[in-house]
């Protein structure tokens, strides 16, 4: 049986990677574990072995709490998800990443593709990407880009969503976004730096092993067909009516949008050159404000 292609979707955060995971997890040529974001390569060298896994532990606790109330098919799916989580939490990093690779393959039944979709991998450097590329004979990378202003605003909304009232959420989100525009949110800046991620990735991985696509164009069958062609799997219809992780609605005001466009002008300029001027209309509208 030939070895499967290994897919790494490296982000960007808030660019539809959960929807993409669900699409590929339901594809007959793919084998993805029930844990979407494994956070292995961005935490493998961390001093705290549980660094990056806290959210997975919390997810397991939520699943256990729901199991008693689940109906048959929900119970089956949640038991499978819980089993995958518990198995992942037992994986111990090693220099050759053998345990990680074995986890990806477990219960594999000959599908053409296995993989890991973790947006935080966009923060890695060329050494991290090179390590990932050594995991198999055929390793491919997908990077989904979203309009830089709208991606950052969506991340701010996610970060501020834990407040109790709408007014508290709005105040917190705007405070986070203002700090991002000032350059005070290092993590948000790093996830917004498409130029850095692409330059580091291209320094470690051949261009033909990289597929870059736009969030604004992803929910279209032609875009999915180009993706599946790149991955070497058959065309498969997307469920475009389904939206994953839609946050609490909150409009971005014009003044903040203009300031964010100026702060992210370098990203727009880089992407315009990288894609030979072929950018989605929403990107171009924000470029004019920069």
13 found inside a domain: yes
Q: How many domains does the chain have?
A: 1
Percent of the chain whose pLDDT exceeds 90: 77
Q: How far is CA 40 from the centre of its chain?
A: 13
Domain that holds residue 279: 5-33+106-287
| CATH number, domain containing residue 223 | 3.40.50.300
9 found inside a domain: yes
Residues 6+ apart with CB under 8 A from 262: 289, 290
Sign of the dihedral through C-alpha 191, 246, 214, 134:
positive
Please tell me the predicted confidence (pLDDT) of residue 216.
97
Categorize the per-residue pLDDT at 51 as very low, low, confident or very high, splitting at 50, 70 and 90: low
Please give the Cα distance from 257 to 132 (Å, whole number). Answer: 36
Distances (CA, A) of 102 to 24, 47, 107, 115, 240: 20, 23, 10, 12, 32
56 found inside a domain: no
19 found inside a domain: yes
73 found inside a domain: no
Q: Identify whether the C-beta of residue 233 lies closer than 8 Å to the C-beta of residue 30.
A: yes
Q: What average pLDDT score do residues 237-254 get? A: 82
Categorize the per-residue pLDDT at 162 as very low, low, confident or very high, splitting at 50, 70 and 90: confident
94 found inside a domain: no
Q: What average pLDDT score do residues 93-114 get? A: 96
Give the pLDDT confidence of 125-155 residue by residue, as tens digits.
999 999 999 999 999 999 999 999 999 999 9
Residues 6+ apart with CB under 8 A from 194: 12, 145, 148, 267, 270, 271
129 found inside a domain: yes
72 found inside a domain: no
Please tell me the predicted confidence (pLDDT) of residue 245.
59
């Amino acid at each position: 049986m030939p070895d499967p292609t290994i897919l790494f979707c490296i982000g960007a955060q808030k660019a539809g990677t959960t929807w993409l995971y669900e699409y590929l997890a339901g594809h007959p040529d793919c084998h993805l574990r029930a844990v979407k974001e494994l956070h292995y390569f961005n935490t493998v060298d961390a001093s705290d072995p549980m660094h990056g896994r806290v959210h997975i532990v919390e997810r397991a606790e939520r699943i256990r709490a729901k199991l008693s109330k689940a109906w048959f098919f929900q119970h089956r799916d949640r038991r499978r998800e819980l089993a995958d989580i518990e198995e992942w939490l037992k994986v111990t990093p090693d220099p050759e990443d053998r345990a990680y690779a074995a986890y990806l393959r477990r219960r594999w039944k000959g599908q053409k593709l296995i993989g890991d979709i973790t947006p935080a991998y966009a923060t890695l450097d060329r050494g991290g990407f090179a390590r990932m590329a050594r995991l198999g004979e055929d390793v491919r990378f997908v990077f989904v880009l979203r309009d830089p202003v709208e991606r950052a605003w969506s991340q701010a909304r996610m970060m501020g969503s834990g407040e109790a009232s709408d007014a508290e959420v709005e105040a917190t989100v705007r405070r986070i976004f203002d700090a991002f525009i000032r350059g005070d949110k290092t993590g948000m800046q790093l996830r917004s730096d498409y130029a850095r991620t692409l330059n580091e990735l291209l320094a470690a991985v051949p261009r033909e092993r990289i597929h870059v696509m736009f969030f604004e164009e992803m929910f279209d069958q032609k875009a999915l067909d180009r993706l599946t062609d790149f991955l070497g799997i058959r065309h498969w219809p997307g469920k475009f009516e389904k939206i994953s992780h839609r946050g609490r609605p909150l409009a971005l005001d014009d003044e903040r949008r203009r300031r964010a466009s100026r702060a992210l002008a370098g990203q727009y300029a880089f992407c315009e050159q990288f894609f030979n001027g072929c950018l989605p209309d929403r990107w171009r509208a924000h470029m004019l404000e920069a």
